[in-house]
Amino acid sequence: MHVATSYQGQSGLRPTGHGGSILEWAPNLARDAVAFDAPLTEPLRFREAISALHDIVINDLTFTPRDKTAYHAWKSEQAMREQAILQQGIAQGRQEFRERGEAPRELRAEYKEAKRRYWKSRRALDAHLRRENQVLWRQLMPFDPIITVADDVVFFECFSADESSYGCLTVDRDDCFGAAAETNAGTTNVDYSWDLYDGFQALRTYRETRFHIRTAGFHVRTSGRDDVREEKIDVPNGWLRGFMQLQAAMGLPMRRVTVSVAAMYSLLAFMKRHRPRTSPRALRFELADGKPPQLVLEPFEQVFVSNGTTYNGPTDEPVRVWGNRRLLTLARVLPIAHRIDVYLLGTGLPSFWVIHLGNMRLTLGLSGWTANDWTRGSAVQSLMPSSSPADRVVNATIDVLSQRVAASLEDVKQTTLASAQDTAAALNELALRGQVVFDLSAGVFRWRQLLPLALSDRDIGPPHPELAGARQILQQRKVQISRREEAPRGGSIVVGKAEGKPCEVLVNGDGIISKGKCVCGWHLKFGIRNGPCRHLQALRDFLWTKDTGSGSNWYDARLRWSGHR
């Protein structure tokens, strides 16, 4: 998807004549005007929080092979000695090609191999720039961070480089800013340069700092000016799909676990000193109603007890989350943290870590595991409603949120006169379209348009083919269950047929497929590593619909799991 951006100048920290400074942000001139100008009263807290958000942006824990730059440089020097021979061979090959008149089969194979080497080199260049020239690499990022000015808060949103981590810094306007000289609420992209990050490090309490999103560019933008940069960014569909799935996941009922700062310190310190070499590598939450939560780091089986906090909720099998090294991005804000709330969707599902910093909150959203990013259509989609909500409810929800800017689920339900399930489905639909975001700490849905227009299925790309196939099998009623029994460790073992193919699936207590057997080509090739096949999904979804009565009761099922009902 192509997104037009236009920035006047660059964001940065500008000195003023009386010894102070202005933290100036360059908004996207191609969007509606957004303005905010107020003094920053908590510069140190803001400095640490926004720097942690920056660490989330540049975080990339995808596997990178050993750096062999020096070795390749030596090979290049050796290759120069043979350059004359190679040039002679190339000239001879060109002459033979001209005589033949058409490309031989061997040349086509060489072309494919050269194309493969080209894309491999491009990926290597990306990794090299990330290490050696971060200014240039930053310009190749898919999309700029998003800033939203609301009536009560100002919040920043970003996505990590590997598309597996989401960061959101929410700042209270009344407590962190003085009287605003200029305000125009809305959402825009901002130019987030490395000069701006360096400016964050210069924030001090003895110097006045003003937070300024300037709007002059909206009125004086002219063609040919050097300080206006107009670009058309090709935003990957995976980036958009990941952001949309994230917003939808945040609005689902989840279990909240309060973790003490001391326990988080111990966890991060242990992870910093020890790196697991064998599997499993999960962080296990052992929860008992009325007792302190216990965090167990696998495979070391190191237990971290959150003394001083109590978990109140349902007690069943432990909840596991993966990709724990991404939590190290929170180390910088721990000295100013008051408490930490962890929101769990279930085993293998995304988790959200909200760090309370007094009048600021830093939210870190993690996908199920580092390699299984939001773009891969993980098990989050299995928790979404199976059918689209009615247009009447969606339009009524848009009217409520666009006028109030922020509202709880109960407020939206009472205004639209719809049921809780229909209201939740409508909010889920708007989140998937980039128009609504859920504020976990405040418990409200906020009207925030990711792009100037609502996204369609074409913009964010089609669903995973196996997921679409499972829905088609359910619509055609080609699912038969022959046997069902309780699993030894919770969940259900279901045996039956989907589309005439015999299959067997183990569904855990979170509704997620843990193991399965099928005879289709997808399962024989991938198993469940790249997601379960359509037959296993159809068998699981048929069981889910049968247990909940209808597909519209998906929200009630999540409420029961999270302990809200």
Query: For domain 245-374, which architecture applies?
Result: Roll (3.10)
Span 194-215, pLDDT tens digits: 666 777 787 888 778 877 776 5
**Which phi-psi region, left, alpha or beta, contains residue 405 (left: φ > 0; alpha: ψ -120 to 50)?**
left
Q: Is the pLDDT of residue 256 over 60?
A: yes
Most confident of the following: 167-171, 387-391, 463-467, 547-551: 167-171
Q: 66-80, 311-325, 508-522 — which one is most confidently predicted on average?
A: 311-325
Q: Mean pLDDT over residues 136-164, rounded?
A: 74
State the chain's mean pLDDT as an integer: 78
Greater confidence (329 vs 130) lies with 329
DSSP 454-522: ---HHHH-PPPHHHHHHHHHHHTT-EEEEEEEE-TTSSEEEEEEETTEEEEEEE-TTS-EEEEEE-SHH
Give the per-residue pLDDT at 220. Answer: 29
Model pLDDT for residues 465-515, shown as the tens digit of each residue: 888 888 889 889 899 999 988 887 667 889 999 999 999 988 866 566 778
- What type of residue is 478? K
Of residues 537, 530, 476, the one with CA closest to residue 503: 537
Counting residues of the chain whose pLDDT is more than 70, the rounded percentage is: 72
Q: Are 424 and 555 in contact (CB under 8 A)?
A: yes
More confident residue, 428 or 244: 428
432: nearest Cα among 484, 369, 388: 388
CATH 3.30.1390.10 is right for the domain spanning 391-460: no
Q: Specify the range with the lowest mean pLDDT, choosing from 108-122, 161-175, 282-296, 336-350.
A: 108-122
pLDDT surpasses 90 at 49: no
Residue type, 108: R
Q: Measuring CA to CA, which residue among 115, 195, 190, 184 is closest to residue 151?
A: 184
Select from 55, 546, 51, 564 the least CA-distant residue to 313.
564
Q: Is the previous residue joined to 299 through a cis bond, with omega within 30 degrees of 0?
A: yes
Q: Give the model's pLDDT for residue 231.
A: 47
Above pLDDT 90, what percent of the chain? 18
Delimit the CATH 1.10.10.10 region(s) of the chain.
391-460
Task: Give the β-pairing of 186-189 and 228-234.
Answer: unpaired
Q: At how many degrees (to 10) do helices 420-432 and 391-404 cross?
A: 70
**Neighbouring-strand partners of residue 230:** 6
At 253 the pLDDT is 86
Pairwise CA distance, residues 149 & 188, whole Å: 9
152: left (phi over 0), alpha (psi -120 to 50) or beta: alpha
3-state class of 241 per DSSP? Answer: helix
The pLDDT of residue 142 is above 80: no
Nearest to 248 by CA among 387, 427, 15, 391: 427
Confidence at residue 377, expressed as pLDDT on a 0 to 100 scale: 44
* 258/312 Cα distance (integer angstroms): 10
Count of CB atoms situated within 10 Å of the CB of 299: 12
Maximum alpha-carbon separation in the chain = 84
Q: Looking at the chain, which residues constitute the CATH 3.10.150.10 domain(s)? A: 245-374
CA 253/CA 563 separation, integer angstroms: 9
Task: Evaluate if residue 64 carries a pLDDT over 60.
Answer: yes
Q: What angle do CA 238, 366, 301 make, to 5 degrees?
A: 140
